[in-house]
């Protein structure tokens, strides 16, 4: 399985979109400050993930979510989650 995931910073509510074949270990890596792009955003919360059988599909989904259209769809999908975090 392959995963596309969204983390939210407890520090500034910013979002991070990532991809991994092992979500549990990847989240722990973020949480422990071992990922440069999220190190200063801790604490982090996993707020969303999607699973895929094919790695190429997951990578394409991650790439899409990082576009303007993708951000808009994230805001629609996570409307209530993001409202609570504001």
Mean pLDDT of 26-52: 97
Residue 78 scores a pLDDT above 90: yes
Tens-place pLDDT, residues 41-56: 999 999 999 999 999 9
Q: What is the pTM of this model?
A: 0.93
Summarised one tens digit per residue, pLDDT across range 2-17 is: 999 999 999 999 999 9
Residue 83: band (very low, low, confident or very high) from pLDDT cuts 50, 70, 90: confident
Query: In whole angstroms, what is the distance from residue 86 CA to residue 47 CA?
Result: 14
Distance CA 20, CA 65 (A): 15
Q: Please answer whether residues 29 and 73 qualify as being in contact, where contact means their C-beta atoms are separated by less than 8 angstroms.
A: no
Which domains does the chain possess? 2-85 (3.40.1440)
């Amino acid at each position: 399985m392959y995963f596309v995931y969204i983390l939210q910073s407890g520090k500034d509510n910013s979002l991070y979109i990532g991809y991994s074949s092992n979500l549990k270990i990847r989240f722990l890596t973020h949480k422990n400050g071992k990922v440069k792009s999220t190190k200063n955003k801790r604490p982090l919360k996993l707020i969303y993930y999607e699973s895929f059988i094919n790695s190429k599909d997951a990578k394409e989904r991650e790439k899409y979510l990082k576009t303007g259209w993708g951000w808009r769809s994230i805001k629609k999908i996570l409307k209530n989650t993001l409202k609570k975090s504001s």
